[in-house]
Structure 1
Amino acid sequence: MTIKELQEKLQEAYTLRNLNNISLTLINLYKNQQYSILQKITEIISDCIDIKITSDGKGFSKLIMLYHPDRIQYHVNEINRFSEQNNYDGLLSYSHILKMERIEEIATSLNSYEDIDYSPVYDWDINTEGFSVINDSDTVKNNKTKLIEYDFYDAVKIRYYGNTDIEYPSYYLEDTDEFELSSSDINDLDGVQFCIHARIIDLSNNRISDITPLIGLAYLEELNLSDNQVGNIDALSNLTNLKRVILSNNCFEDISPLFELNKLEYADLSENKISLEQINELIELGVTVDN
């Protein structure tokens, strides 16, 4: 394949639609803790780029940044630059995306090799709190009220339009720089990955536990995640423009990801079990901390 042919193939692969598809599939695998599948995917692209995913998912942030939509222009510029320089090896370093264009099919195929527990229902622990087995002959005496829960995408629809039964293309999210979604019954951040130009996001007072989809929001400057159920803030280490973050009343203990944010000015970390040593280290970095 000539340099020109490879350049054209890569330009066809680095489209917003393709990057959205790849990144969303990878994020879903990560959210479902299918780390072994992510490991196999990194093996598939290992001849182009070396990324290691550990058994507990560490290293995922490097993988997702290869395909995040907000970096599309950077990738296209680099591809064109390598082509102009007749740098075939440089172009080959981007060819990993050609193996990822069928990512959904690859993920499904790899998933078929995963060990799945097909235990019959009578083997389950039916005394587990909150669950029970009901036979057809049983009479249901009490109907418990089911919690209303939304993902980020549906919460945006409800906030702006009052319902979820509308067409709302994901590219609408790309053009918005501020989102106010406090107290919106959000338990899943699926959809926030499309907010590539967001600068301010308020997600306070929801039921969010996994903040992985925030990884690629490179322009984010202010983030409010107070009063949620966040137990791990590793994803924040990628938000290099973050200046203010409110994380009060969650359940994480490690704030080391914040040490990597050179522009961070303020952090509210109250009502979390954080060591005084880490608090002092963040203060020494010039961050104003409420604890």
Structure 2
Amino acid sequence: MTRRRSGPRVRQETPDDKAALVFLGPWLIGAVVLVVGPLLASLYLAFTDYNLLQDPNFVGLDNFSRMLGDERLHHSLAVTFTYVIVGVPAQLVVALALAVALDRGMRGLAFYRSAFYLPSMLGSSVAIAVLWRLIFGQAGLFNGLLGAVGIDTSTSWIADPDTALWAIILLHVWTFGSPMVIFLAGLRQIPREFYEAASTDGASPWRQFRSVTLPLLTPIIFFNLVLAIINAFQSFTQAFVVSGGTGGPSDSTLFYTLYLYQEGFGAFRMGYASALAWLLVVIVGAFTLINFWASKYWVHYDD
């Protein structure tokens, strides 16, 4: 019996993971040092009494039980929920309306797209918040425009408790550029044949928008909605600058993040501020989960 000799054994190449680790190393180090580390530290501080000057003193659930009787916390939640519930839908409606207008192929589309996107780049900056404060001040541009059409008023819209929050909501709506660009990209993905078929059937432009555009755009609407809610809950700069860091007048612009800042860096109650931060995580997480749960009833994916 002749034994068959096997051919030369081919050495199997194994992927080299060292190069991947070299490139991922800076990101992993940054994630641990700047994200995971502070996250775990704040979780520990949430159960302590810590004033930044002395060692943390473990107090268990005292910081969380204190929230139940904190009237300013409850008021800040009411202000923030009003800001989110009113500002987010208004911003998305304006963004979608302008995206639909730009999708019709007007001249200078690139210019308008850049001009409309610019407020989103600057909306959370200190400079724009200062400018907003000047515009809606007693001698600001807004009162000047009202005077030009015969409405004389000396109201400082940011110094009036009844209008200060709405001025900041208007600033939030004005930063519609980012969702508008995403809407515009989604509109460009809708096949033109659908509109041609609807037009052949006699559908009006409004009917085409309701029956073609909106259903096919629901995944983009859902994406923008989730991001907009998360960003709105984290809003800080606008309220801080417009109110001068106080949340005034009469706490009418006391956003949750501003109250958290006051507790942590104003009153030096860093333990309580950490507990407030984790409550915000729970609130944002709850809103996100609700959105994902409700999406199965109104978001339509093209299979």
Give the structure-1-normalised TM-score.
0.24
Give the structure-2-normalised TM-score.
0.24
| Greater Rg by CA | 2
User: Larger relative contact order (C-alpha < 8 A, sep ≥ 6)?
Assistant: 2
Q: Which has the higher helix share?
A: 2
Q: Which has the higher strand share?
A: 1
